[in-house]
Structure formats: structure tokens, C-alpha cells
Structure 1
Amino acid sequence: MIPYLRLLRTHQWLKNLMLFFPAFLSGAIMQPGMMQRMWLPFAAFCLASSATYVFNDLVDAGSDRLHPVKRGRPVASGDISLPAASLFALLLAAVGIGCGLMAQGDFWRYLVAYFVINVCYSLRLKALPIVDIFCIASGFVLRLQAGGAASGVMVSEWLFLSVFLLSLFLSTGKRLCEKGGLGDSAGEHRKSLESYPPGFLDLAMAMTGAAVLVTYTMYALSRHALIYTVPLCTFGLLRYTMRVKRGGGGDPTDALLKDLPLFVTGGLWAVLVALAIYR
């Protein structure tokens, strides 16, 4: 049972909280029935995302066995056989998409798009430089749009741009940390890493981080009371950058859960937003 729970990567479900952002930031999350309306889409994304993680583990089983960290994953280590993992992935995908079809609005379209992009990413796109970063970033954007569709809340242009650029920033940081941690063998574990010239990922991370700060500031100005969250956004961007450059790990979920200053910053941001919108 424990290997299957590890296969799900339940800690990555934290990303699916993005589904609640449109309703939360619009002030609609407290409307009668809104939370009940959002739990089914949340469950659907959790199951579908876990299905893509299992599929990725199946595709990468051979290379993962040579990776210093990933070799401990259930499929790579042999704790779960390839046929059992394949059946598990199909079951997760079927139930997840089934739940998505029962959700309101066009939610299911974004869920299917997320699933298709991630399958293509595992099969081929992750080997293409820049394209691999955009594929990772698309997951956050599709969650945001899916949350808007499920809640019936329109996602503003500035919020869309902020999430899109933040996703690119985090994805670039993840690749930069991988490239630095694996050193000369980076290309053997992830083909796209050998295609990034020296300094490119650093520059891309600085560029997208600056763009995030601009777009989020514009979003905060459009909402007036949220302007006081901009300093927290700035601190969070700088803290994540320092973590990556120190080799502390670039995975966004791990960074939030394991880095206390980032965790506190995220909590304070949520509290300030809630006070500004709902008080």
C-alpha cells in the first residue's frame, strides 16, 4: 500500500489549490455552495495529475534507476511492477476524467488538455529545450483556467499573466537546480539540460522573475487593497532564487513545504489577501 501512496505523489496535490484561486481572489469563495462546487474538480485534478506522474515514472523507469534521487521511486526501484503501475495509471486517469466530466462548465476541457500535454511531455516534449519549461508552466495555467471554469469566475488578464510568468519562473528554477545538481551528467538524466548553454537558465529566471513582479503589481493595483501584498511577492521571488542558487532544490512544492521562510511568506500572503477581500 505504501509504495502506491508514494506513486501518487500526494504532496504534489498542493499545486491543485490553484483551482481555488479565481473564486478566492474574486471574493466569491464564501458564496453559498461554492466550496462544495469546487471539491469535485479538485479531486479530478488530483487523480489526473497522479495518473500523469505514474505514466512519467513508467516512461522514465530505465533512466530513473541511474538517477541519484529518482532511483528510489516505486517503479524504478522495483517495488511496483510495470504492469501493476500501468493498470494503476489507467484507473486514476479514468476516474479523474470521469469526475471532470461531472463538474460544471468547461472544466473538463482544461482537465483533458492538461492530461494530453503531460502525456506528450513524458513521451517527447521534455527532451526539447524551452518547450519542456513551457509544458511544466502550462500545468499551473490550466489549473487556473480550470478553476475559473468550474467556479464560474472569469480570470482577469493580469492574473493570467502573473500565473503564467510565475510558472515559467518556477519551471526555469527547477531546471537550473537540476542542471547544477547533476553537473556533467545532467544530459544523461534529462536530454534538454545539455541543450541549455551556460548562463541561459540564470538569465531566463531573472527575466521571468522581473516580469512576474511587474504583472503582479499591475494586478494588485487593479484590486487596490492587494497592493500591500507586493512586498511579500518580492520577498518570495528573491527567496526562491536564493534557494535555487544555493542548490536547495527547485521543485515548487518541495520549496514551499520545506523552506520555512517561503512557507511563512505564502501563509502571510493568503492571510493578507483574505483580510483585504473578505473583511
Structure 2
Amino acid sequence: MEKIPGIVGTVANASVNTRELPIVVDLDDTLIVTDTLFEQIAMGLFTHPISVLRAFFSLPKGRAAMKEHLAREIDLTHTTLPIREDLVQWLHQQADRGREIHLCSAAAQPVVEMVAGRLGIFASAIGSAEANLKGRAKATYLKQRFPEGFTYAGDSAADLAVWKAASGIVLAGVSPSVGAAARNLDKPIEAEFKNKQLSTKDLLKALRVHHWSKNVLVFLPLIFGHAWDDVSLIIRTLLAFICLLMVTSATYLLNDLADLNADRLHWSKRNRALASGRMAIPIGFALAGALLFVAFAAAIALAPAFAGALASYLVVTGSYSLGLKRVPLLDTLIIGVLFTIRIIMGVVLFSQPSPAWLLTFSVFFFFSLAVTKRHTEIIRAEVTGETHSLTIRGYRVEDAPLTLTLGIASAIASLVVLVLFIIEEMLPASVYSHPQLLAGMPFILSIWLGRIWLLAHRGNMNDDPVSFALRDRTSLALGGIVFILFLAAL
């Protein structure tokens, strides 16, 4: 095969005749690395769930009827879809050589026309109307439409029927079995374009393994309750921690599914597994569902109260994904509440009084960090001029002074709560042999918060301060000093 410079695909030694034929391109998982039907279902589930339900009720009339209903109810006009860039580049090259390019898909006609309009290289755009234009139905249509022959670009087993009727083949993201079957047809393969495979690293990022460290907050009540000698409680807390890991990973997946369009417009989130199309939408839903089922089954067996706290975490997270994340400032408060619920999960595992100071400190402290995240995004948008993803969340570039003020004020409030607790409860407590050393903790914490806000305001920090702290040597050193002060005070 002859390699095309600059693109991933390869071109076979196709005959001159096939090189002069029109090219017909499939849409779902071929021209784009996602499926528009699943895109509509995902969008609908998080924005218009009743519309999705009504669409499924139309399924007895045929898949085409369901697709038409979804296209009418759920508009993808302003949705960014992940294009197969190397295929599009090759199509442009073929168009420059005088070949006609046509788009033909089983997707609903309005969806096909919308995508074709964006690229501007297609002589026609044909989608499903009265019948589902897939497999044999598509092959019959294209044979009638192009009696002199055509080259077809597809991806799935259903496209084998079309390739049998075609004069030339273009493979786009096919599985090994489909690729082998297509080659056995003894037709010229003009080009092949590989999918970017979902790597283990991609999967771990989608599950937000790098954010699992946030869930260690469930151990704080055990630590500050000085119950580290209670083996039974340690085991229960560890099991609760595992349940929480599964639920948080599931909620991150669901949040990514709910926020596909915004993520694709974001400077870094566009590379996430779901946003980029490396993880299929159905796989995302299935994985999230499996994690939730296992987590709640284990949580109920562990402690009903813990299962209730876990359910409240899921409800708050779901409300955030369904729309509250687009309410300025409320979105950051919810993030602070979610961190606090993690601590509450640790509290309900043993029968000590709820540490009100710890929960109050947590809300102020994590609200400040959440605002730091938004402030960083605002500063970056001001510098780069990319404000669309910011606007989707309800923020504006001119909100920077407000987020700066609220974030710093909340940080100071958390320090005040910590100082009052040390004075009122920790210093008089008999469990510490050197309680005066605890006074250094809010001092060190104030240095860290000040540094975080300084870096955020200068635009020198990524958009997640917790993840930043776990990789930042200075932050780790300050955290180590706080830990040493706590141990020395015992």
C-alpha cells in the first residue's frame, strides 16, 4: 500500500476507474467518531428525558420513525461532534481532484444535512426518512443512485452489504473482523483510517483515578476522633472508601456524558475519552451503571446510614450534572457540599457526635477551592479569548473580581473556623500532649491557600487546585509539615 503523506490512512493500488468514481461516506462512526443517535439520546436524557421516552414509544413504527422523532425533539445544530480528521483531509484531496463526495447515512435527514453543511464538501446529503437507510437498504439505494459505480466509506458489519455493491472500499475505524471481511470481497481498498484506541490510561482518566485521593476525606472523622486503634471501624471505613470510589467514578462518567458539548469546546477536556469519541457513549453508560449497582449493593450491606449518605452524594451530583453546574457560584457551592458529604460518610460509620466544626470548615474551605477552579478558567478565557465553554457555565470574563473576592473571603472564613476549633476544643483536650503545636496548622494552611490563589490569579495553575496540590512539591511539603505538627501534638 502506498502511504499518503501527512495522514493516517493508506491508499491501495486502486484502479484508475475507482479513483474517478464518486465517493459515498457514511456518517456515524465513519465521518465522525461517534454515533449521532447516541449523541441525541445522551443529550436528551440530561435535558429532555420525556422527549427520549416519547421517541422510544415510536420505535414500533421502525428505527427511522424513532430517529425522526429524536431529530425533531433534540437539536444537534449547536453540538460539536468529533470529526475523523484524517478522513476529512483525504476527502478534501479527492474533491480537489474532481471527485464528487456524497454523504449517505442511516441517521435522520436533518442530522445528515446539518453535518454536511458544516463541512461544505458534499454534493448531496442523504439520510433516513421513511425507511432506515442501512445495510441492504442503503446498498439498493446507492446502486440505483450511482449505476456506474461508487466508492463507499464505512465502518461496521452492516456496511458489508454496501461494500458488496460498491466498486471501491474505504475503511474507517473498522474492527479486525469487519476489515478482514471487507478485504475478502476482492474490491480495491482505496484508503484505511484507524481509530485511536481507548488505552488503559484513557480509561483511568475517564474514571478520574487521579481524583480518587479526594475521597480520603472519609477517613478524617476516624483520624480526628482518635479511633485509629479500632480495627473494626478501620475496616468499615476502608470498605466505605471503596464504595465511594466506585460512585465518584460513575458520577464523573455521567457528568462527562451530560457535558459532551461543553467538554469538546474546552481547551483540555476535549481530549477526554468520551468527548473525543475514543469511548463510545453506550460503554460510558454501561460502565457507570455497573459501578453504581455494585457500590450501592455493598453500601447497604455495610451500613444503611452510609448508603443514605452515598445516595445523597449521588443525588447532589446528579442535580449538578443536570443543570446546577450552569448556575454561577451555586455550582462552586455544590462542589464544596460534595466534599463535605464525603466527610459525613465517615461520620455516620461510628456513633460519635457529629464534628460541626469540621463540616463547617469543609464547606468554606472547599468552596474556596472550587471558586479557584472557576477563577482560573475565567483568567485563562480572558487571555486566550476562548469564552464559549465559560459562557455555557454562566460565567463571564468580567466576573474575575467577584470570584477572586468570594474565593479569598471563603478561604479566610475556613481559617477562622479552624483557629476557633483549636482554641475551644483541641487546646483544652487531654488527648494531646503538646496541643500548642496545633497552632501552627492554620498558619501553614494560610500560606498554602495564599499561594494557590496567587497562582490562580496569575493563570499559572491548572483548573483543578486539588490535583495541582498533589503534584506540586511546595504543596506536598506544606502538607507534610501539617502532618508532622499533628503527630508531634499527640
Q: Give the alignment's TM-score, normalised by structure 2.
A: 0.54
SS of 1:212 mapped into structure 2: helix
Select 1:230's aligned residue among 428, 433, 442.
442
1:267 aligns with 480
Q: How far did residue 202 of structure 1 move?
A: 0.7
How do 1:236-255 and structure 2 match up within 5 A? 236-247=448-459, 248-255=461-468
Q: Percent identity?
A: 26
Does 2:393 match 1:191?
yes
RMSD: 1.8
Larger radius of gyration: 2
How do 1:19-98 and structure 2 match up within 5 A? 19-98=218-297
Distance 2:320 2:489 in 1: 39
2:365 aligns with 166
Matched-pair contact (CA < 8 Å) for 1:43–1:99: no
Q: How far did residue 257 of structure 1 move?
A: 1.3
Q: How far did residue 187 of structure 1 move?
A: 4.5
SS of 1:249 mapped into structure 2: coil
Select 2:374's aligned residue among 165, 175, 193.
175
Distance 1:153 1:13, change over 3 A: farther
Q: How far did residue 263 of structure 1 move?
A: 1.4
Distance 1:106 1:89 in 2: 23
Distance 1:80 1:38, change over 3 A: same
Q: Give the alignment's TM-score, normalised by structure 1.
A: 0.93
Matched-pair contact (CA < 8 Å) for 1:37–1:151: no
RCO higher in 1 or 2 (8 Å CA, sep ≥ 6)?
Answer: 1
Amino acid at match of 2:409: M
Pairs aligned (count)? 277
User: Which structure's residues are more often helix, by fraction?
Assistant: 1
Distance 1:19 1:210, change over 3 A: same
Using the TM superposition, name which of 198-207 and 153-162 deviates more: 153-162
Q: Cα deviation per residue 1:9-63 (whole Å; 9 max; x = unaligned)?
A: 1111111110000110121122232321211110111100010100011111122
User: Which structure's residues are more often strand, by fraction?
Assistant: 2
Select 2:421's aligned residue among 213, 219, 222.
219
Q: Cα deviation per residue 1:171-206 (whole Å; 9 max; x = unaligned)?
A: 111110111112343343442223973411011012
Matched-pair contact (CA < 8 Å) for 1:19–1:146: yes
Amino acid at match of 2:454: M
Does 2:330 match 1:117?
no
Amino acid at match of 1:175: R
SS of 1:150 mapped into structure 2: coil
Unaligned runs of 5+ in 2: 1-198, 428-434
Unaligned runs of 5+ in 1: none
Does 2:402 match 1:200?
yes
